[in-house]
Chains A and B, each alone.
Chain A
Amino acid sequence: MSFGEFLLVAVLALPALGALAVAAIPRDLPARVAGTVAAGLTLVAALALAVDRSGSWTAYAVTPPAVRPWHALDLPWVPGLELRFHLGVDGISWPLVVLTALLTLLCCGYTCWRVPPGGSGRALVALLLVVEVGILGTFLALDLVLFFLFFEIVLLPMYAIIVGWGGDGTDPAAVAARRRAARKFALYTLFGSVLLLVGVYVVVAAAGTADIVALTGGNGLARGTQLAAFTLLAVAFAVKSPLWPLHSWLPDAHTQAPTVGSVLLAGVLLKMGTYGLIRVAVGVAPEGARWAAPVLGVLAVAAILIGSLVCLAQTELKRLIAYSSVGHMGFVLLGIATLTATGIQAALIGNVAHGIITGLLFFLAGAIKDRTHTGALRELSGLRETAPRLSGLLAFAAVASLGLPGLAGFWGEAFAVVAAVEVGGALWITLAVLAAFGGALTAAYLLRLLRQVTHGTATPAVAELKPGLAGAEVAAWTPLVLLALAVGLAPTLVLGVAEAPVTALVEVLR
């Protein structure tokens, strides 16, 4: 077993073993610390994946495959059903793998310091690690059936996190609200999963293989099959991403989830949808993608505009940030819909930037709600008077989220617009113009948020605040702040590795 193969296994095994260890350690705090250590080791392994990335593909093949993993592990798993345990990492998946490992580590570390009321911290950390296994597996799987399995692993632990630790208060109404939100999340995404399963089997039955490397480029799939497969897969991923109008599970789930749950949900869970769209739907059924691209583009722009408008009328902090994800993911989906190298690269960096920035925003919103016990915007005002640090960080995150050039959010949004201009034609130019106006609306709602929360005179809820931040908070937020700045100044951190695989993918789309 080569070092690369070992790392691939380690990235999945470490959080899984960590979850078991957490479950086995009876005392609460040591268990949480053990879980955090496991998450930290996972991050190290994930980072190490980029070392020695010569790859196992041969450059001398007549037609090199469109997916050329740096490291791959291909083992027979259920020979009777021709299922293979096929993992691999390349420049498209690696940034997301690292982001997942980082956010899980930050969430586990945050949980060492503060456990949301509702259940034991031990169980929460274990569930976070299980979620991590599912998400990482989704990003690493190079076999469609394996991909589907990992895609599904995430669902139930996340449901448990929302029901167990979510909401605020223990009165029956609050309990019912978070049960309802979690149920909606689980059932809605299960509906997407059914389509995903059907789509996967349409592809596997028609092509006779589930190997993503072999399937990418639509080799051997008839046009009709591709159209059907793309429709099924795209709707499935659209639910997860989420794409308007299939988004309505998201605001409730985010609002009710505990801080760490929201961070993972927004930070990486949504990316499973956009990643799947790029890797599976577009890769496996390129003809279907070309056929559906205009519809996808129109829906993406609708998501940008409607998401932003709804945010402009929102009155609750976490709900506003949740809806902002609809708009931001709209930019990502617009980038994918252009099916150009520019657009897909924009989508990749948009994915990562949204994970960093929205993760930070949810951490901050959680901190504000924990301190003031309210999320209603009209009960929050004058934060900069009593908590200048928190208010400054909120301003930074909001400014990053509105896509300020020089910070991470800019590249994905601006270049999704540029990609649409690049495609040309009346439809795509119109979409570019509307998306750019969506950028102005994004600024409008985030500035409205800042004006409401940070400026003005302090409301009673805010006046009680202490100015300081806890050490764990600083430790959890600093990496995100630095990354938002670093990715903004050096986008090549994310895209440097992605250029080659994206070019290879776009080659087969032509």
Chain B
Amino acid sequence: MSTTTLLGALLPVVPLVAGLVGLLLPPAARGATTDRDTSRRAAIALGVAGAAGALVLAVALLVTLDAPAESSTTWIRFGELTVTLGVRLDGAAALVAVAVAAVALAVQVYSVGYLTRGPHDDTDVDHRYPPYAAQISLFTAAMLLVVVSGDLIMLLVGWEVMGICSYLLIAHDRWLPQAPAAAQKAFLVTRVGDVGFLLGIALLGVSAGSFRIADVLAHDHGTGTLTAAGLLLLAGVAGKSAQFPLHTWLPDAMAGPTPISALIHAATMVAAGVYAITRLWPLFEATPTVLAVLGVMASVTLLLGAFAATAQDDIKRVLAWSTVSQLGYMTGALAVGSPPAALFHLLTHAAFKALLFLAAGVVIHAVGTAAMSRMGGLRHSMPVTFWCMLIGLGALAGLPPLSGFWSKEGVLAAAEGAALHGDGPAPAWVGWLVWLAGLVGVAVTAWYATRLLLRTFFGAPRTPLTHPHDPPALLRWPVLALTVPAALLGLAGFPGWFASQLQRTTPSDAEGVSDLMPPDGLIHLTPTVLLPLALLLLGAGLAWAGWRRDTAADPAAALGPLRPVFAGAFRLDDVQHTLVVRPTTALARAARVADERVVDGAVTGTGRGAGALGGGLAALHRSALPRAVVAVLAGALLIALAATLIGAM
């Protein structure tokens, strides 16, 4: 095992240890104040140390990794099938690991400031801070495991542990009645997708005889197996990466604390699905059918998320729906055959969306509500937050030269190539679909980003009684730190070290042609770049024009009768409830009744029947003397008769 693979293996271990130790810390005593609470301080130290250690390791890995590396050992053998324990490292894995560890560190620090309750809140300090910090550490470990894993079963371990951490953290807030339900929904919807993921992994593993990713990629699967496995894996990806029709959990997951939304439900976990596809890219590249399905899913998700974001009043829900939409861009890039574009957008999105959520958290903390209808005019009282938010929203909308512009442009260029020149592995119509959806998405994104900015920071304050102010250092610094990549990461997409890391091939096809060609940049500036820019101006201009007419009114009023439809996200929640949840619960009730009445009823019935039969026979034997004498004589007569008849024969 070389230094590089050792670094890769340690990457998930460090936060795992921090998390497991953190879970053992006693909950803070009730009524203790923040500064006299030793277990809280230990939890903070462990959490920050775990994330910082992971960040150091990830950076070291990125620096030392000069060629894709792989190392594995047998974990367990099930009959003919081998499960391995190993890492598979390449430039993309190292970059994603750095992004995960960096956001995790920012969130650990931010949480220290965010999850305190001062004396004026008439509640004591959050006595469940130690498990909270430990669960973030466990989540970080799980995500890093997914990133470095060299085996599909190992990947599944990280995949599901992330899910359970997400569940636990969404339900953290004890003052929110809807939190437990949202947490349950998040886990179950993704778990339904994971049914497909597990079956897809099983198909691939059984076909290849091993679950090691390198073996699975090297094996020559049949077309039928590959298509079936690809479609099944997509179900898992749709669950984790909130793709239509399994996207419904993500907006509700905003019931979790804001730092959790930033880390799990924006920057990292939801990107795991996209990352998993890039890991298994050769399998997907070989199956145009699967990519076509992915393209349709991506386009629907992209537009669905964008339109739903236009009509939300809760600032976190706007951002949540925008995450759904941006994930659509990433899966769209995959569908048109460009994993580097997808990974580039994944990285910039991780930066600017984490920034947006943390900044939104600052706003919510200051105003005491997440409803934009009660904000407004915060530009003067919270200038630092305003500028950070401006950069984040600019990057989200794709305003040059912020990061989102370059990465979104990369996605659109790939789609354009697939549409106009048939560049992608999928049919050209998939390229057209993704490209057009992406272009419409640009305009809508610009519209809702502008609306969010105007409703929150401009106009007159709508809750004049509060006195919002910029946040304390613990909240401010993580936000400020994240503005740097949110603004500048896009420039790294020009040809150079960063771009070659993302485009580097994996060990299995190291001898392929692509390695001989000089690495290409991720940015392709063509005249068609003017198209998204024009759409951006159109969207932002429309929102601004609507707001100008009445600065107190919501620009979403312009949506007219569509507004409730968009706000309810096309009522897909109700559809899911009617088609899945209610039938399942009805079936469960029916199963219980049937089990108790029919299956168990037969058993108790048999018992009762035997008892009754015994009772009846006993009653016969207890008869009075005359009848008993008659019975004995009749019996003797019968026997004698039988004996005579048999003897006579």
Q: A188-B603, A248-B595, A455-B180 are in contact. Are A447 and B187 (CB under 8 A)?
A: yes
| Chain A 287-310 per-residue mask, 1 if CB under 8 angstroms from chain B, else 0 | 000000000000000000010011
Q: Which residue of B lies closest to A455 (CB)?
A: B180
- Chain A residues near B (Cβ < 8 Å): 184, 187-188, 244-245, 247-249, 306, 309-314, 340-343, 345-346, 384-385, 388-389, 392, 395, 399, 404-406, 410-411, 414-415, 417-419, 421-422, 432-433, 436-437, 439-441, 443-444, 447-448, 451, 455-456, 467, 491-492, 495, 499, 502-503, 506
- Which of B44-52, B429-437, B470-478, B581-589 forms contacts with chain A? B581-589
B20-52 vs A, Cβ < 8 Å mask (1 yes, 0 no): 000100010000000000000000000000000
Q: Would you mind naming 17 contact pairs between A and B with Cβ atoms under 8 Å apart?
A: A184-B607, A249-B603, A309-B584, A310-B592, A341-B80, A346-B78, A388-B131, A404-B160, A405-B157, A405-B160, A414-B198, A418-B202, A421-B206, A422-B79, A436-B198, A439-B195, A491-B75
Query: B128, A443: Cβ atoms under 8 Å?
Result: no
B77 at the interface (CB under 8 A from A): yes
Question: In the assembly, what is the distance between CA of A436 and CA of B203, in Å?
Answer: 13
Contact A451 B206 (CB under 8 A): no
Contact B202 A417 (CB under 8 A): yes
Q: Residues of B contacting A343 with CB < 8 Å?
A: 79
How many Å lie between the Cα of A432 and that of B232 in the bound state? 13
Residue contact A447 to B78, C-beta cutoff 8 Å: no
Task: Tell me if B77 and A499 are in contact (CB < 8 A).
Answer: yes
- Nearest to A247 among chain B residues (CB) is B599
In the assembled complex, the Cα of A467 lies from the Cα of B128 at a distance in Å of: 13
Apart from the given pairs A440-B192, A456-B177, 18 other A-B contacts in the complex at a CB distance below 8 Å: A184-B607, A245-B599, A248-B599, A306-B595, A309-B588, A310-B595, A313-B592, A405-B161, A406-B161, A421-B203, A436-B199, A447-B188, A451-B171, A455-B180, A456-B180, A491-B76, A492-B76, A502-B79
Does B632 make an interface contact (CB < 8 A)?
no
Is B181 an interface residue when CB atoms closer than 8 A count as contact?
yes
- A contact face: mostly helix, strand, loop, or mixed: helix
CB closest residue in chain B, given A436: B195
Option from B76, B79, B156, B181 in Cβ contact (under 8 Å) with A506:
B79
Q: A410 to B81, alpha carbons, bound, how many Å?
A: 16
Q: Which residues of B contact A (CB under 8 A)?
A: 23, 27, 75-81, 127-128, 131, 153, 156-157, 159-161, 164, 167-168, 171, 174, 177, 179-181, 183-184, 187-188, 191-192, 194-195, 198-199, 202-203, 205-206, 584-585, 587-589, 591-592, 595, 599-600, 603-604, 607
Contacts A405-B161, A418-B205, A448-B184 given; does A313 touch B199 at CB 8 Å: no
Q: Chain B contacts of A406 at CB under 8 A?
A: 157, 160-161
Contacts of B206 in A (CB 8 A): 418, 421-422
Chain A nearest Cβ from B123, distance in angstroms: 12
**Are A451 and B181 in touch, CB under 8 angstroms?**
yes
Q: Which residues of A contact B153 (CB under 8 A)?
A: 405, 414
Q: What residue of chain A has the Cβ atom nearest to residue B192's Cβ?
A: A440
In the bound complex, do residue B199 and residue A443 qualify as a contact, i.e. CB atoms below 8 Å apart? no
Closest to B184 in A: A447
A-B pairs with lowest CB-CB distance, top 3: A341-B79, A312-B588, A342-B79
Pick the residue among A306, A399, A443 that contacts B591 (CB under 8 A): A306
Chain A residue contacts of B131, Cβ below 8 A: 388, 392
B194 to chain A: closest residue by CB: A440
- Chain B residues lying within 8 Å of A422, measured Cβ to Cβ, are 79-81, 202, 206
**A177→B81 CA distance, assembly (Å):** 48
Chain B residues near A244 (CB, 8 Å)?
A: 599
Contact check: which of A187, A247, A455 meets B607 at CB < 8 Å?
A187
For A396, give the chain B residue with the smallest CB separation. B23
For residue B181, which residues in chain A have a CB less than 8 angstroms away from its CB?
451
CB distance from A323 to the nearest CB of B (A): 8
* CB pair B160 A385 closer than 8 Å: no
Q: Are B592 and A309 in contact (CB under 8 A)?
A: yes
Question: Within the complex, which residue of B27, B128, B168, B591 is in contact with A313, where a contact is CB–CB below 8 Å?
Answer: B591
Quote the shortest CB–CB distance from A399 to chain B (angstroms).
6
Chain A residues in 8 Å Cβ range of B76: 411, 491-492, 495
Residue ID in chain A nearest B78 by CB atoms: A342
In the assembly, what is the distance between CA of A385 and CA of B607, in Å? 45
A501 to chain B, nearest CB (A): 13
**CA of A437 to CA of B183, assembled, Å:** 20
The smallest beta-carbon distance between B179 and chain A, in angstroms, is: 8
Asked whether, in the complex, the Cβ of A342 is within 8 Å of the Cβ of B81, the reply is: yes
- B79 CB contact (under 8 Å) in A345, A392, A440, A455: A345
* Closest chain A residue to B604, Cβ basis: A184
Q: Which residues of A contact B203 (CB under 8 A)?
A: 421
- Give Cα A346–Cα B167 distance, bound, in whole angstroms: 27
Report yes or no: A388 in contact with B591, Cβ–Cβ below 8 A: no
Question: Which residue in A388, A444, A491 is a CB contact (below 8 Å) of B128?
Answer: A388
Residues of chain A with a CB closer than 8 A to B80's CB: 341-342, 422
Is A184 in contact with B591, judged by CB distance below 8 angstroms? no
User: Cα distance A395–B77 when bound, in Å?
Assistant: 30
Task: Looking at the assembled complex, report how far the CB atom of A478 sits from the nearest CB atom of chain B, in whole angstroms.
Answer: 11
Separation in Å of the A278 CB from the closest CB of chain B?
A: 14
In whole angstroms, how far apart are the Cα atoms of A370 and B115 in the complex?
34
Q: What's the least CB distance linking A328 to chain B, in Å? A: 16
CA distance A406 to B77 in the complex (A): 16
Contact of A432 among B77, B157, B199 (CB under 8 A): B199
- Chain A residues lying within 8 Å of B78, measured Cβ to Cβ, are 341-342, 345-346, 415, 418-419, 495
A188 nearest CB neighbor, chain B only: B603
| Bound CA–CA A491/B157 (angstroms) | 13
Q: A451, B187: Cβ atoms under 8 Å?
A: no
* B199 vs chain A, min Cβ distance (A): 6
| Cα(A247)–Cα(B591), bound, Å | 14
List B contacts of A492 (CB < 8 A). Answer: 75-76
Contacts of A441 in B (CB 8 A): 584
Complex interface: chain A residues within 8 A of B194 (CB): 440
Distance in angstroms from A415 CB to nearest chain B CB is: 5
In the complex, A313 Cα to B27 Cα: how many Å?
33
List the A residue with the shortest CB-CB distance to B79. Answer: A341
CB distance from A250 to the nearest CB of B (A): 10
Question: Do A312 and B585 touch (CB < 8 A)?
Answer: yes
Q: Which residues from chain A contact B584 at a C-beta distance below 8 Å? A: 309, 312, 441, 444
For the complex, what is the distance from the CA of A506 to the CA of B589, rounded to whole Å?
40
Shortest distance between the CB of A142 and any CB in chain B (Å): 24
For the complex, what is the distance from the CA of A411 to the CA of B211, rounded to whole Å? 14
Of A187, A188, A399, A495, which is within 8 A of B164 by CB?
A: A399
The reply to whether B159 and A405 form a contact with Cβ atoms under 8 Å apart is yes
A178 to chain B, nearest CB (A): 16
* A444 CA / B153 CA spacing, docked (Å): 22
Q: How far apart are B392's CB and chain A's nearest CB, in angstroms?
A: 32
Query: Which single residue of chain B is at the shortest CB-CB distance from A413?
Result: B198
CB distance from A326 to the nearest CB of B (A): 9
Measured between C-beta atoms, what is the minimum distance from B359 to chain A in Å? 29
